[in-house]
Amino acid sequence: MEEIKKKLHAKGLERHEMLKKLIKDHGDVVLQQTTIDMVLSGQKSIVALLTDTSKLDPEEGIRFKGFSIPELQQKLPRLHPEGEPLPEGLFYLMLMGEIPSHAEVKTISYDLARRAHHIPQYVFDVIDAVPKDAHPMIQLNTAILAMSTQSHFRKAYEEGMDKKDFWEPMFEGVMDLIARLPVIAAYIYRRVFHRGQYIDINPSLDWAGNLAYMMGYDTDAVKRLMRLYMVIHADHEGGNVSAHATHLVGSALSNPYYSFAAGMNGLAGPLHGMANQEVMHWIDKLLLFSESCCPTKDQIKEFALKTISDGQVIPGYGHAVLRKTDPRFTVQLEFANKYVPDAPYIKVVRDIYEVMPGFLDDLGKVKNPYPNVDAISGALLTSFGITEHPIYTVLFGVSRSMGVLSSLIWDRLYQLPLERPSSQPLEWFMKKAGMDIK
């Protein structure tokens, strides 16, 4: 691991110099003009963040350091030639900017398994103090905050560390946190859904395989699914709520636990990560509505219309940036078609996919009528036996840690400043627009 750290530090020094030069020599270059609509419609088209880990193209979908998901499936190291890539390899790619060798991935896997052992007992006691029926995301975030007492970063800051060295305790904290999240997630899962019958970590397994194992799924099939799930949810450039919140809170030099907890609070919103649970809820209501296991296309449209008339959204459809079917949806559908083609929920998801884009398009206001990652992930997990919907966003969160936390290390390598955009009252915007102010 020391070799990887040394290499990262060297890259950090080099890129920090590039950033400094860019600002010094070209800081006055105009990037774009902003309009009232751009600011007041969620700032989606305003370039306001520096994020290197991944970039989202509206038509093509996500690329991690330039690689699409199908390319990553070919290029990243795998345990078995036919299997899914290891998420540790994607983490390495996002952090170091290069496709890792098998040996480098093994180093990361080993380091994570080693760190996962050192969760203090009080963290589990804190989880146990939360009511069992509290949403698993509440339990996850409680545990993340409880672990912040161990923050290397906070300690280093208190001891008066030079800011150019902040990346190092940040790296240590991030690695600890990523290592421990599967243990925490599995603990919450077994606590809530399996009468507290916990399963210890298996140090010989990879990060995602271990998560499946500790949740109680010791089959190759579920471990493969978990690796796929962890890879495709890992990052979605810097502006999405969980990434942006993690980065923003980190800009105050909050430790990685505080920063990541902020991101996870955002992920728990139904328009973001909680949409995976909402989709299953919506499908279950659709099945009740149609009084059948396989609603017809007309019934799907009728229920969708009811949802819209009730002032709600169709979960799993639409996206703030994407304007095509999310490749993360496609890759999951391919996996489902290969391994569980006849699973009842997968059939319903396929039928919804046939109807929904046209239905949403006809509403005339939805910018992207196509499915996003959440439209199928719950159905896929359910089809492999993980049927407890409230855990789905926790699994999303475990995966998302790899992207947002590797960015957080880079924020400190770049020595990015406190983030503090300016705000204005409504009257300011109206005045700018030349409107009368009463």
Residue type, 183: V
CB of residue 276 to ligand CMX, shortest distance in Å: 7
| Nearest-CB residue for ligand CMX | 318
**Annotated active-site residue in 16, 152, 233, 272:** 272
CA distance 317 to 58: 14
User: What does the DSSP assignment read for 337-356?
Assistant: HHH-TT-HHHHHHHHHHHHH
CB of residue 371 to ligand CMX, shortest distance in Å: 8
DSSP state at residue 79: S
CB of residue 319 to ligand CMX, shortest distance in Å: 5
> Which residue(s) pair with 371 in the sheet?
317
| H runs (alpha helix) in 27-58 | 36-40
CA distance 88 to 237: 18
Residue 118 is a catalytic residue: no
| CB closer to ligand CMX, 40 vs 252 | 40
Interface residue list for ligand CMX (CB under 6 A): 42, 240, 271-273, 275, 308, 313-320, 365-368, 372-374
CB of residue 365 to ligand CMX, shortest distance in Å: 4
| CB closer to ligand CMX, 93 vs 356 | 356
Report in angstroms the alpha-carbon separations of 312 from 118, 269, 282, 307: 44, 14, 11, 5
Residue 374 is a catalytic residue: yes
Best CA proximity match to 249, nearest among 418, 414, 406, 422: 418
| CB closer to ligand CMX, 56 vs 205 | 56
**Annotated active-site residue in 233, 236, 319, 389:** 319
Residue 247 is a catalytic residue: no
Task: Tell me if 230 sits within 8 A of 381, measured CB to CB.
Answer: no
Q: Is 320 in a helix, a strand, or coil? A: coil
Report in angstroms the alpha-carbon separations of 316 from 52, 272, 294: 27, 9, 19
CB of residue 279 to ligand CMX, shortest distance in Å: 7
Best CA proximity match to 355, nearest among 316, 389, 382: 316
The number of C-alpha atoms within 13 Å of 117 and in the hemisphere containing its C-beta is 7
| CB closer to ligand CMX, 190 vs 281 | 281
CB of residue 245 to ligand CMX, shortest distance in Å: 12
- The catalytic residues are 272, 319, 374
